[in-house]
Structure 1
Amino acid sequence: MKQKITFLTTVFLITCNMFSQNTYVFLGSYNRNKTAEAIQIYQLDTLNGKLIKIASVKNIINPSYLTVSPNGKYVYACTDTKTPNAGSVSSFEFNPENKSLTFLNSQRSGGENPVYVTVHKSGKWIANANYTEGSVSVYPLLENGKIDSIAQNFQYTDGSIHKERQTRSHVHSAVFSPQFDYLFLPDLGADKIRCYAFDENKKQPLTEAQSPFTKTDLEAGPRHFTFHPNQKFGYCIEEMAGQISVYNYENGVLNKIQRIATHINKIKEGFESSDIHISPDGKFLYAANRGKENNIAIFSINENGLLKNVGYQSTLGKHPRVFAIDETGNFLVATNVNTGNIIVFRRNPKTGLLKKTGKEIKMENVSCVQIRQI
């Protein structure tokens, strides 16, 4: 009898915890003016897909990319993006009970035009990719959520063959490996995916990996990268070529096993592939296309990691730069920069297909979205 009561109590506590958590949508923008709202936070109604605004901040410029700390208390942003002779990373404290987002501090990004920031699972480090000058910076995080000064900064000068877009390195993202012991840097300008070993216990955590980079196809323009939940495969979306390269992954080493187009039209000119994510169940991959096609390409994922296209979904706007999938896998939220609209899609877990739900919202020059259950 006592064992039965203990089991029921455990089920009750788990259920209470599930219902006590809320899902929040964090939006960044190219606001270009400190008087305009730079970051907005919404609560996602997980029954009907409706977004309810709860907080925002002003007085910062161009938070082009956001990430949320593992404990959900802090938001880190690339700031002063696309601002000449500038570039910073900033921290904010998020309090869902008070419905507030409070600025904490900023640090120089170590390069012009920061475009991607990611946080280590320990909550003790962030890494930032700088596009224009082609560099990566890592920073320790303080216990109060503030960003400490730069621990390491690596700059690159090598480019590739495209005479206009690849005259030098353009690091477009910084992505930790599944075990958080490596950091991968897709470099659009150099047609490389750079790699460093990462030791969270060192004051300077980055050291050159045994395989310091993986070459991509020429004029590929590697942009964003994601790992499969089973940790065996990596997927890189190539902005310039409009392709996805699929890799076997083990201990910091990538070996390519497939390359597949993201767009409907096989002629690559005029396409700019942007973002890539995998559903939490590991069964489907989603990739965003901008330019001639403003859509999300949908792929099923076989057990061997290979992709098969199963459809496309318009983002119902122009220039989808970043999208995100919620932790349950039920919703995908897409942001359209040029039309300034945010669309919530419900995801069919069996087919992988998307269907608009809820009501779209507006945010001028919306650049980024992150979703977290807190």
Structure 2
Amino acid sequence: MKIFKLLTCFFSLLVNVSFSQPTKTILFVGTYTNDKPDSGIYIYEFNASTGNLTPVSHGSNITNPSFLTISPNGNYIYACTDTKMPDAGSVSAFRFDSISGSLTFLNKQPSGGENPVYVTTSKNNEFVINANYTTGSVSAFSTNADGSLNPFSQLIPFKGSSINTRRQEKAHIHATVFSPDFKYLFFPDLGSDKIHVFEFDPTKKQPLKASEKLDFVAIPGSGPRHFTFHPTKPIAYCIEELSGMVSAFQVENGKLDSIQRIFSYSKLQEDYNSADIHISPDGLFLYASNRWEHENTLSIFSIDQGSGILTLVGHQSTLGDNPRNFVIDPTGNFLIVANQASNNLIVFKRDLKTGLLTKTQTEITVRNPSCLQMRIYGQ
């Protein structure tokens, strides 16, 4: 009987090993396609030991998939599509097969506004939340069992302006970011210098509820853009596009309390064009991308693990033009930056102790890269 049980366990182990999917890390790249249908989304396998990128597949007949997000289970990709096109804007759904590497279009829905720039998903993929930059609105889409999108069930327009008459003539929502507990959504509004806070209830057809008492009013002319949470602490950070600053907040039940603003650029300029912001998986370092002529850097900050206060460690050239977006791989060992104007992706090795970056030998040419997302499959 004991021999039979041992043989059964051994056979079961062989079956599981034979049919389990090898672990792989996948990089998804969203791009601008010059307003014409094209491949749009590019998929690479990332070597987490060397930093090398190997082409896997790409999309087809996609127009300006400028921002991507991955569903919680990794099976679906949602993209802002038809961006920066007059009187047009959509959100598209794709199925991703992690074994074959294929990307299959499911459907797309009107975004409810012009120039969708940011999408995110709820905890169990019940809803996809989209930001329309030019028309200053947020739309919520419920999903179907196959990952496809229903028409938006909620469309929330915003009003407001601020002191920069060229860039802040009206509301411009630039991100839709869930709190770690998925009870709140934060909408940085570059146009009105606010971070709007909404309560979220996935059981309702219209899941977003305004909570104006929680809205944060930023410094005039700052232009809040992207927003991120610390992986383990009740602290959040916002990159301000127009001021070149990073703001830090204590967060409790959706309420933001400012604790710091720190300059992100390497030198003073007349104008600023900050873009993206991310924290290393261990929570020790924060990175921000700084665009503009003679800048194009990543700023590197250490994070005080008690207070959340940032201290500048240094700056790293992105070795390209217009670092619109970047991503830190799940191991934390590498950082990849997308230089939109110079059409290249640069892979940097991270020093886990200092946070500093060193260029690897990996550089990939991609036309107009604007968004990077990564995920490990097969775990």
Superposition TM-score, scaled by structure 2 size: 0.92
**One-letter identity of the residue aligned with 1:234:** A
In the alignment, is residue 355 of structure 1 matched against residue 361 of structure 2?
A: no
Q: Which whole-Å CA distance do the structure 2 matches of 1:281 and 1:244 have between them?
A: 20
Aligned to 1:313: 316
In the alignment, is residue 65 of structure 1 matched against residue 77 of structure 2?
A: no
**For 1:205-224, what aligned pairs fall within 5 Å after superposition?**
205-209=207-211, 211-224=213-226
- How big is each residue's C-alpha offset from its partner over 1:194-222, in whole Å with a ceiling of 9 and x where there is no partner? 01000111111111126241000000000
**For 1:79-98, what aligned pairs fall within 5 Å after superposition?**
79-98=81-100
CA contact (8 A) 2:224 2:238 kept: yes
Q: Which whole-Å CA distance do the structure 2 matches of 1:342 and 1:256 have between them?
A: 34
Aligned to 1:264: 266
**How far is 1:35 from its partner?**
5.1
Given the alignment, which residue of 25, 28, 31 partners 1:29? 31
**For 1:105-254, what aligned pairs fall within 5 Å after superposition?**
105-209=107-211, 211-254=213-256
> How many matched pairs?
365
Aligned to 1:300: 302
**One-letter identity of the residue aligned with 1:63:** P
CA 1:33–1:172: 2 relative to 1, 3 Å? closer
CA contact (8 A) 1:178 1:231 kept: no
- How big is each residue's C-alpha offset from its partner over 1:27-74, in whole Å with a ceiling of 9 and x where there is no partner? 011112545320000000111111001010121110010000111111
**One-letter identity of the residue aligned with 1:180:** F
Q: Which whole-Å CA distance do the structure 1 matches of 2:350 and 2:20 have between them?
A: 20
CA contact (8 A) 1:120 1:126 kept: yes
CA contact (8 A) 1:237 1:273 kept: yes
Q: Which whole-Å CA distance do the structure 2 matches of 1:34 and 1:162 have between them?
A: 32
Aligned to 2:287: 286
Q: Which whole-Å CA distance do the structure 1 matches of 2:321 and 2:283 have between them?
A: 28
CA contact (8 A) 1:51 1:358 kept: no
**One-letter identity of the residue aligned with 1:306:** I
**One-letter identity of the residue aligned with 1:309:** L
CA contact (8 A) 2:29 2:370 kept: yes
**How far is 1:355 from its partner?**
1.2
Q: Which whole-Å CA distance do the structure 1 matches of 2:23 and 2:230 have between them?
A: 25
Residue segments in structure 1 that go unaligned for 5+ positions in a row: none
Given the alignment, which residue of 43, 51, 56 partners 1:49? 51
CA contact (8 A) 1:183 1:196 kept: yes
Q: Which whole-Å CA distance do the structure 2 matches of 1:171 and 1:33 have between them?
A: 22
Q: Which whole-Å CA distance do the structure 2 matches of 1:195 and 1:343 have between them?
A: 34
**How far is 1:19 from its partner?**
8.8
- How big is each residue's C-alpha offset from its partner over 1:114-171, in whole Å with a ceiling of 9 and x where there is no partner? 0000111211111000100100011111110101111111101211111111110000
CA contact (8 A) 2:66 2:81 kept: yes
Aligned to 1:336: 339
CA 1:101–1:93: 2 relative to 1, 3 Å? same
Instruction: Mark the structure with the bigger radius of gyration.
Output: 2
CA 1:252–1:98: 2 relative to 1, 3 Å? same
**One-letter identity of the residue aligned with 1:61:** T
- How big is each residue's C-alpha offset from its partner over 1:290-342, in whole Å with a ceiling of 9 and x where there is no partner? 00310110000002100000011111100000101111111111000100000
Secondary structure (helix, strand or coil) at the match of 1:60 reads: coil
Q: Which whole-Å CA distance do the structure 1 matches of 2:212 and 2:279 have between them?
A: 27
Residue segments in structure 2 that go unaligned for 5+ positions in a row: none
Q: Which whole-Å CA distance do the structure 1 matches of 2:324 and 2:289 have between them?
A: 7
**One-letter identity of the residue aligned with 1:253:** K
Superposition TM-score, scaled by structure 1 size: 0.94
Aligned to 2:103: 101
In the alignment, is residue 370 of structure 1 matched against residue 337 of structure 2?
A: no
Secondary structure (helix, strand or coil) at the match of 1:211 reads: helix
